[in-house]
Structure 1
């Protein structure tokens, strides 16, 4: 029997240091998030970061926490419940980090008789620290606890026409009644070395501004190429002027170089260059979370206005948007019928 496993990032159980600390420990100790040797990662995370970060992060979570709980969890559950209405297959939701585990989601599917699972990482783009770590963790748990199950993974869908249409229409709706003079696509940042580590050719990805434009098998796992593809396809779909659109990367850690330009620097640059009315979207996420609701919607607005901007709008993620639900339903039902997953056609 076939079933669907949706996996998103995860969340602490509450916006308190007590619950944030174990969540951050699991997240930051993931070797695909901080890809240092375990001994060094342990020193960095448990010896330094977790001494102060939980309190600060808890304060940030408290700003965006809903009465129903974590926005990311609530929105993911709403999406899951809507998807269930569009498919006959069992659908379960798990999180890569936190107490809403992948193992429990797989157990839920097993209890319903599922032995053939479609894994859907809820990330449009491939990155070690998001898409890849979900796939690795699911396969680890499947092999250890559910060896009778088979798992098929939905590929990164960053350039799928149906996804681009749903994303573009949600952006279009968010731009209604907002007289913008610039739109910033802010994507989650990753270290530059992650791009090189994910390059199967070991030579193509130079992060020099040109390699992303040269066709290569490396693009299948190149986060930078994929996010710029998404920006270009949305721009084309909506007919946005070239000079009014740019992309940037948020949420970096100190130390190693991360993908540039940095979003916080862009807020200041755009304001100082005379952009007064800024719209910001965050297409690396399908569900609003701490990074979108606090870092971009709150802190980003403050940074832009302090730098001289006058009007700022954060456009929500697709969340449980009906068009997005229907796109996912189309994919999972096609897999149920044919076993095929053609979500990344050539462009």
Structure 2
């Protein structure tokens, strides 16, 4: 009797440069920003903007920033924690499963991971993009790439995509547990800072082109979960964490960071929110970053260094950040649960 085929799991994170050097950061940024789901403008315009303006300006600065959080042995924190998540999930699932880790941009690449999985003649493959809230530029891009690569496969296992888990109870528990590492009573206000998106991308989920998305989001997005609306899912995550921690209305703000270019992005911007809070007399802020499942440059530098400095210059005193999900065993249990519920 032939050995039973394994079930496959593919975890996909955004990506990280191979080294904190200008050349490696340039390669990473170019691949990232040339993705048409990320920079959703015509190819020629995208190429001129990315390769001619954005990357030459950002690569040296980003390389300097990466060097401040880089570990010689394990690389970037994003890589270190992503590898931890892969290894811990593999241990929890056991020999019946094979867990691969890939980065959407750079190494370990999705093509290499898919090549490994193809040769295993799997019964099923569960793909989990490591982005709790669905967006075309993140989860959509991962799914697009996986499906593109599978076109050449001569057999197809049962295929499962976990496209969103913005209200996953175990994930919310981990975020709340990590928040309680801090003395919550010390803080005047709480910020839920999500990765930003151009406003135009919110409306693109509607094939009939009937949606109109204001910069601050429509009221229904803030009150109810709309399938595949990134903004709506950000508010859904926030509501779940706020309820878990008992944060009162009026003491928290949902905002968005890491905008790029001059086109309108989802507002309010995190930097603007911090300035306003400082001006209103708030002194101590605790920041959540629920769009990330591992600490990375956007959390360790952008929030803890850049935004903290701006807040103090505006009159505030302290910005602290809630640790990401990282290698918390309860988060690994959440991933295992997703696999078992979707992979059969």
The verdict on a shared fold, with TM-score over 0.5 as the criterion, is: yes
Structure 1 range deviating more: 176-185 or 259-268: 176-185
Select the residue among 40, 49, 64 that pairs with 1:44.
49
**Pairing 1:142–2:150 present:** yes
**Pairing 1:331–2:332 present:** no
Contact 1:23 1:98 in 2 (8 A): yes
Select the residue among 8, 14, 25 that pairs with 1:9.
14
**Pairing 1:84–2:93 present:** no
Q: Provide Cα deviations, 1:285-305, integer angstroms capped at 9, x if missing partner.
A: 111111111111111111111
Q: Give 1:65's aligned residue.
A: 70
Q: Provide Cα deviations, 1:95-153, integer angstroms capped at 9, x if missing partner.
A: 00013101111223334442521000000001111111011011111223565444310
- Alpha-carbon distance between aligned partners in 2 of 1:307 and 1:251, rounded to the nearest angstrom: 20
Contact 2:223 2:235 in 1 (8 A): no
Q: Provide Cα deviations, 1:253-309, integer angstroms capped at 9, x if missing partner.
A: 121100000011111111111110111110001111111111111111111111111
Q: TM-score, normalised by structure 2?
A: 0.92
Helix, strand or coil: the match of 1:199?
Answer: coil
Q: Give 1:162's aligned residue.
A: 170
Select the residue among 251, 261, 264 that pairs with 1:254.
261
Q: Provide Cα deviations, 1:129-181, integer angstroms capped at 9, x if missing partner.
A: 111101101111122356544431012000222322232222223x2477111
Contact 1:199 1:205 in 2 (8 A): no
Cα 1:137/1:243, change in 2 over 3 Å: same
- Alpha-carbon distance between aligned partners in 1 of 2:305 and 2:169, rounded to the nearest angstrom: 31
- Alpha-carbon distance between aligned partners in 1 of 2:222 and 2:58, rounded to the nearest angstrom: 38
Contact 1:296 1:314 in 2 (8 A): yes
- Alpha-carbon distance between aligned partners in 2 of 1:54 and 1:178, rounded to the nearest angstrom: 40
Contact 2:160 2:343 in 1 (8 A): no
Q: Give 1:345's aligned residue.
A: none
| Shift in Å, 1:240 | 0.6
Structure 1 range deviating more: 84-93 or 158-167: 158-167
Aligned pairs (5 A) from 1:1-347: 1=5, 2-67=7-72, 68-88=74-94, 89-144=97-152, 148-173=156-181, 175-176=182-183, 179-207=186-214, 208-213=217-222, 219-337=226-344
| Shift in Å, 1:209 | 3.2
Indicate the RMSD between aligned Cα atoms, in angstroms: 1.8
Gaps of 5+ in 2: none
Gaps of 5+ in 1: 338-347
- Alpha-carbon distance between aligned partners in 2 of 1:275 and 1:244, rounded to the nearest angstrom: 11
Number of equivalent positions: 334
- Alpha-carbon distance between aligned partners in 2 of 1:199 and 1:319, rounded to the nearest angstrom: 34
Q: TM-score, normalised by structure 1?
A: 0.91
Helix, strand or coil: the match of 1:241?
Answer: coil
